[in-house]
């Protein structure tokens, strides 16, 4: 049996169930630092990290979340099955667990955005109900998800629509450019149905607040340099022209 920090792994595994929560947390932290480059250790220890999400101590739960976060940076597919538990953690009273959960969701979503889409309504529900630190962590997590190169379908991006209408101005300023970039790509999608659905959604959002149009137009203009989508861009700009004029006046 291999050793970590001078001790057998078997001894560290025993510590995961030690009566002392600090010993359990230390064992989790030590083991998680040792596994990332060792596939055999990863296979051995992942079930233990996941089961400690149900530990009676919030300290150990938080350490388990952090451990899974380390794994998710390289192996998000090994962590995505914890999402039902993460959904429950978004509702707990412990501030640090909510914050750690959001960070883990962002890590998973930055590599497997489809995996976390069902959590978007729960994340949105946190925005107005929580403090500034949690709000900032929400935006950081969403930013990681939206910055991924993995394409998001129209139906997926629809789930983010409520972020366009956040009443908290500072949060909207951070999230709108990222959403505008994603939606500008859908406006030049090869499928007419996707372009039409996207245009309808943009018009619906912009009829209540023209801020999104102001964010969207620079991304569309940038796409004019791509000859393969020029006609779609021009068509979109023409269709949005009435809203553009209104936005310029304000």
Q: What is the pLDDT of residues 190-207, one digit of tens each?
A: 889 989 999 998 888 888
d(CA 11, CA 224): 62
**pLDDT, mean of residues 117-124:** 84
> Could you give the domains of the chain?
1-55 (no CATH), 75-150 (1.25.10), 151-250 (no CATH)
148 alpha-carbon distance from chain centroid: 10
Between strands 3-4 and 7-8, the pairing is antiparallel
Confidence of residue 2 (pLDDT cuts 50, 70, 90): low
154-167: buried (b, 16+ CB within 10 Å) or exposed (e) per residue?
beebebbbebbebe
Give the 3-state secondary structure of residue 140: helix
- Identify whether the C-beta of residue 116 lies closer than 8 Å to the C-beta of residue 109: yes
**pLDDT, mean of residues 59-82:** 90
Confidence (pLDDT) at 36 = 66
Is residue 1 scored above 60 in pLDDT?
Answer: no
Of 96-100, 128-132, 156-160, 193-197, the one with minimum mean pLDDT is 128-132
Q: Which helix (H) or strand (E) holds 33?
A: helix 21-34
Confidence (pLDDT) at 52 = 95
Reference 41, options 72, 73, 1, 6; nearest CA is 1
Q: Which residue has the higher pLDDT, 35 or 217?
A: 217
Confidence (pLDDT) at 101 = 93
d(CA 79, CA 88): 15
Reference 161, options 130, 206, 128, 224; nearest CA is 206
Spell out the residues 6+ positions from residue 64 whose beta carbon is closer than 8 angstroms to its own: 28, 49, 50, 52, 53, 55
**pLDDT, mean of residues 224-230:** 92
Percent of the chain topping pLDDT 70: 92
Confidence of residue 110 (pLDDT cuts 50, 70, 90): confident
Confidence of residue 216 (pLDDT cuts 50, 70, 90): very high
């Amino acid at each position: 049996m291999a050793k970590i920090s001078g001790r057998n792994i078997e001894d560290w595994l025993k510590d995961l169930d030690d009566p002392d929560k600090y010993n359990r947390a230390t064992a989790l932290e030590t083991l998680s630092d040792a596994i990332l480059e060792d596939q055999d250790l990863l296979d051995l220890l992942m079930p233990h990290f996941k089961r400690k999400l149900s530990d009676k101590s919030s300290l150990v739960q938080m350490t388990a979340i952090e451990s899974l976060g380390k794994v998710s940076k390289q192996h998000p597919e090994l962590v995505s099955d914890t999402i039902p538990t993460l959904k429950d953690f978004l509702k707990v009273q412990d501030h640090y667990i909510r914050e750690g959960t959001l960070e883990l969701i962002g890590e998973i979503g930055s590599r497997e955005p489809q995996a976390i889409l069902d959590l978007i309504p729960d994340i949105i529900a946190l925005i107005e109900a929580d403090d500034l630190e949690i709000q900032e962590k929400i935006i950081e997590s969403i930013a990681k998800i939206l910055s991924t190169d993995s394409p998001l379908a129209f139906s997926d991006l629809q789930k983010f629509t409520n972020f366009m209408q956040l009443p908290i101005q500072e949060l909207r300023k951070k999230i709108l450019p990222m959403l505008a970039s994603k939606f500008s790509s859908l406006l030049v999608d090869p499928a007419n149905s996707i372009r039409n659905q996207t245009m309808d959604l943009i018009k619906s959002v912009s009829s209540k607040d023209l801020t999104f149009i102001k964010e969207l137009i620079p991304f569309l203009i940038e796409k004019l340099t791509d000859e393969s989508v020029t006609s779609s861009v021009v068509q979109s700009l023409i269709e949005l022209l009435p809203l553009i004029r209104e936005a310029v006046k304000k």
